[in-house]
Chain A
Amino acid sequence: MAKIELHNIAHSYLSNPKNESDYALKRIQYEWEDGGAYALLGPSGCGKTTLLNIISGLLIPSEGQVLYNGREVTALPPDKRNIAQVFQFPVLYDTMSVFDNLAFPLRNRGVRETDVRIRVLEVAEILDLTPFLQKKAAGLTADAKQKISLGRGLVRSDVAAILFDEPLTVIDPHLKWHLRRKLKEIHDQLRLTLIYVTHDQVEAMTFAEKVMVMYEGELVQIGTPQDLFETPQHKFVGYFIGSPGMNFLECTLHGNIARVNGTEIQLEEKTAALGGNAKGKLELGIRPMYLEVHDKAVAGGIPVTIKTIEDQGSFRIITLLLADTILRAKLPEDKPIPDKHAWVRFPPEKTRLFAGARLIR
């Protein structure tokens, strides 16, 4: 088991970095608690794989320290760090059977063959690989191969953390559910620290207890999936999380009212109060699923025109035009939708205010 800490980590792939933009990772400071399930979520190029490789030891950071249980391990190679890593595509020893693949890390460490056998059988059982043990690893399906990659990490009883680098990339959608479920089961059963890197918010949010959103080398927000959804601290989090992302409207503040292009929207008192002192461009944010769509004028309703309606099976996405701004609303399957004209309402408790791209609270 391990508590992993990162102190003042920064990393540049250039030998002489001069300014901020030369750094792939900027200011990373965090403590991962023992046994937690974390996700590093962000778009391509945000630095999440770099960060993962620093944690695992495949990369030595240009600045800062990595500590495991209080011990500095910054320069230690991966095999001395008690971690395992699962990569984007299955990495297997093709010439070996499934059994030998799983046994490999143990045999390299000089474990007794009888113990190797017990452990491999245990792990194969957990991963539903027992029927395949004598088969050649090369001939199996992609999801079985990924399970073997995972298994090589689980066999080692000294493993403190398992790191995943977009492991479901090559897996079919209907098998992703099965593998995600397996990962969660493993987490609940074995209580290992799991750190999962992905650009897919569904994977991140369903897997992790705490999600860390990254953008351009920085940790933008860390919180439970619910936190990130309800109170995104940065416009980027509002946009990146949720499908579709948050709607944003430029506004000006007058007491408790936000004015958008002449229309008035009521805000919560405390939000409005803080907004008065804020610096930077003011914007309203509301998530599509909270934007209310009505077929007649209601208190606080604003007239809009409907542009398109998309049936997406269990819900519908309505694209609307409010003055010049495009908004999206997400409605459940069975709710009736007006034809062309509608009124939207912004529930004050779900409407957020951003100043200079940061959440006002």
Chain B
Amino acid sequence: MGLSLQNVDKIVGRQIHLKDINIEFENGTRNIILGRTLSGKTSLLRIMAGLDKPTQGKILIDGEDFTGVSVRKRNIAMVYQQFINYPSLTVYNNIASPLKMSGVGKQEIDRRVRETAEMLRIEKLLDRLPAELSGGQQQRTAIARALVKETRLLLLDEPLVNLDYKLREELRTELQEIFSRREAIVVYTTTEPTEALMLGGNIVVIDEGRVLQTGTTPNVYHHPATLKVAEVFSDPPINYLHGVADDRCVHFGENIQVPLSAHFQNLPAGKYIIGIRSNHLFLSRRDSGDTEFKARVELSEINGSETFTHMNHGDAPLVVQDDGIYPHKIGAEISVFVNPRAMFIYDENGALVASPGTGR
């Protein structure tokens, strides 16, 4: 059964924090909530935790109505962005605190604390105080404290955002392994599409308090139902150009013409928005089927092994992500190549009409 939110709204004063939220999470699944800052992720998490009550709607856990139940009565654990630990307790006591409060026996506490500490690789730090630890170690302690309870619901609110880039990478891999061994429902919020992709599982894309799309993470990535989902779920942001289709071709941008083919063979005539991911635009021809067009270079960002070329095609800004080093001069007019098979076609309102067949 798992966790289920039905028609949940959260309205504070005149501000809509959440609207029409309908979500189902199965037990033992990993669920990512992806959205920009202020999109409602934290509000949603707090309602799941029981820290806030929805203005309307129900929250069911395994079929039982838990909507008004206070957080203490729910079987949940939560990890925050800001490495929250009891500052006067040692790491050992921090991790043991939830067990002590629920009256678990001393020996059992010891066993579970050590087991969890080892999982998070902090078994050597059990005697230290949080103030003596680095950021990464503090957050591991907070995560250990959340995990040791073996709760039904594990909520993490952007837990890695205050950590170093490399540390984030490492912890993410470790967390994936830890999550896969648990029965709990894991809910993890983030603003970063790359993090969402790395963690996998299921995803809920949220924007301005509404759920835009749900599904398995790779699936939603490869088939974003609306242009907004594609924008939120891409890094660098997806490129899009306006165009029209007649009975033979799609015309978009400045005189770019692509004959109707592949997944948009039967596209009805009309106005459309063409979405192309940055890594599907290239600075050299890869395939005879590629379409070529010109754009003006605004900026080249070189990443060591790949180049992000920021360009303008007419008025539209584009970002081309290419393997290799391409230090182009600002103002240069160069050719950009795209394979029509990689194009996402959206209607005027941003709803998906045709998407490439890839995606596992």
Apart from the given pairs A44-B134, A240-B166, A244-B169, 19 other A-B contacts in the complex at a CB distance below 8 Å: A43-B166, A174-B231, A174-B235, A177-B236, A181-B298, A185-B298, A188-B299, A202-B303, A205-B303, A205-B304, A207-B301, A242-B304, A310-B198, A311-B217, A312-B198, A313-B197, A313-B221, A332-B323, A334-B358
Q: Chain B, 106-136, contact with A by CB distance < 8 Å: what is the 0/1 string?
A: 0000000000000000000000000000111
- Picked from B135, B169, B198, B305, the residue with its CB within 8 Å of the CB of A44 is B135
Chain B residues within 8 Å of A230, by CB:
304
Cα distance A314–B320 when bound, in Å?
Answer: 13
Can you report 19 residue pairs joining A to B where beta carbons are below 8 Å apart? A173-B193, A174-B237, A177-B319, A181-B310, A185-B299, A188-B330, A202-B165, A205-B304, A206-B308, A226-B304, A226-B325, A230-B304, A241-B304, A242-B305, A245-B166, A311-B217, A311-B218, A313-B197, A314-B279
Interface readout for B184-225 with A: 1 if CB under 8 Å, 0 if not?
000000011110011010000000000000000110010000
Interface string of A33-49 (1 = CB under 8 A from B): 00000000001110000
Residues 270-307 of A contacting B (Cβ, < 8 Å): 287, 289
Q: In the complex, what's the smallest C-beta–C-beta distance from B84 to chain A, in angstroms? A: 18
Please state if B304 and A229 are interface contacts (CB–CB under 8 Å). Answer: yes
A184-B237 contact given A44-B135, A229-B305, A314-B321, CB 8 Å threshold: no
Is the pair A172, B169 in contact by a Cβ cutoff of 8 Å? no
B167 proximity list for chain A (CB < 8 A)? 43-44
In whole angstroms, how far apart are the Cα atoms of A226 and B301 in the complex?
A: 12
A200 contacts the other chain (CB 8 A): yes
Q: How many residues of A contact B (CB 8 A)?
A: 41
7 residue pairs, one from A and one from B, having the closest CB atoms: A229-B304, A206-B301, A314-B279, A225-B304, A199-B164, A311-B218, A312-B197
**Residue in contact with A184 in the complex, picked from B165, B198, B278, B299, CB distance below 8 Å:** B299
A313-B221 Cα distance, complex, nearest whole Å:
7
Chain A residue numbers with a CB within 8 Å of B221 are 311, 313
Q: Is B277 an interface residue (CB 8 A)?
A: yes
Interface string of A323-336 (1 = CB under 8 A from B): 00000000011100
User: Distance (Å) between the CB of A149 and the closest chain B CB?
Assistant: 19
Contact residues in B for A173 (Cβ distance below 8 Å) = 191-193, 235
A242 CB to nearest chain B CB (Å): 7
Closest-CB distance, B139 to chain A (whole angstroms): 12
- Please encode chain B, from 267 to 304, with 1 for each CB lying within 8 Å of some chain A CB and 0 for all others: 00000000001110000000000000000001101111
Number of interface residues of B (CB under 8 A): 45
Q: Which of A199, A225, A312 contacts B165 (CB 8 A)?
A: A199
* Residue numbers in B under 8 Å from A239 (CB-CB): 166
Known contacts A44-B164, A173-B191, A177-B319; is A225 also within 8 Å of B303 by CB? yes
Known: A199-B165, A245-B166, A334-B358. A172 touches B303 (CB 8 A): no
Q: How far is the CB of A175 from chain B (nearest CB, A)?
A: 9
A289 and B237 contact, CB distance less than 8 A = no
Residues 215-245 of chain B: 1 if any A CB is under 8 Å from the residue's CB, otherwise 0? 0011001000000000110111100000000
Instruction: Judge whether B265 is part of the interface by a CB distance below 8 angstroms.
Output: no
B36 at the A interface (CB under 8 A): yes
Which B residues are CB-close (under 8 A) to A243? 169
Docked complex Cα distance between A206 and B323 (Å): 14
Query: Does A180 make an interface contact (CB < 8 A)?
Result: yes
Is the CB–CB distance between A226 and B302 below 8 Å?
Answer: yes
CB–CB B166/A314 < 8 A:
no
A199 to B167, CA, bound (A): 10
In whole Å, how far is A35's beta carbon from the nearest beta carbon of chain B? 16
Residues of A within 8 A of B236 (CB): 177
Q: List residues of A (171-206) whose CB comes within 8 Å of B's CBs.
A: 172-174, 177, 180-181, 184-185, 188, 199-202, 205-206
B72 at the interface (CB under 8 A from A): no
> For the complex, what is the distance from the CA of A272 to the CA of B192, rounded to whole Å?
42
Closest chain A residue to B307 by CB distance?
A: A206
B360 at the interface (CB under 8 A from A): yes
> Within the assembled complex, what's the spacing in Å between the Cα atoms of A228 and B236?
23
Alpha-carbon separation in the docked complex, A188 to B231 (Å): 28
How close is A187's CB to chain B, nearest CB, in angstroms? 10
Residues of chain A lying within 8 A (CB to CB) of residue B164:
43-44, 199
Q: Mark B137-168, 1 if CB is under 8 A from A, else 0.
A: 00000000000000000000000000011110
- Can you list, as one digit per residue, whether each of A45-59 has a CB less than 8 Å from chain B (1) or not (0)? 100000000000000
Candidates B166, B194, B200, B235; contact of A199 at CB < 8 Å: B166
A228 to B304, CA, bound (A): 7
- In the complex, are the beta carbons of A172 and B191 less than 8 A apart? yes
By a CB distance below 8 angstroms, the chain A residues around B304 are 201, 205, 225-226, 228-230, 241-242
Q: Is B266 an interface residue (CB 8 A)?
A: no
Alpha-carbon distance between A230 and B302 when the two chains are bound, in angstroms = 13
Q: B residues within 8 A CB of A202?
A: 165, 303
List A contacts of B197 (CB < 8 A).
310-313
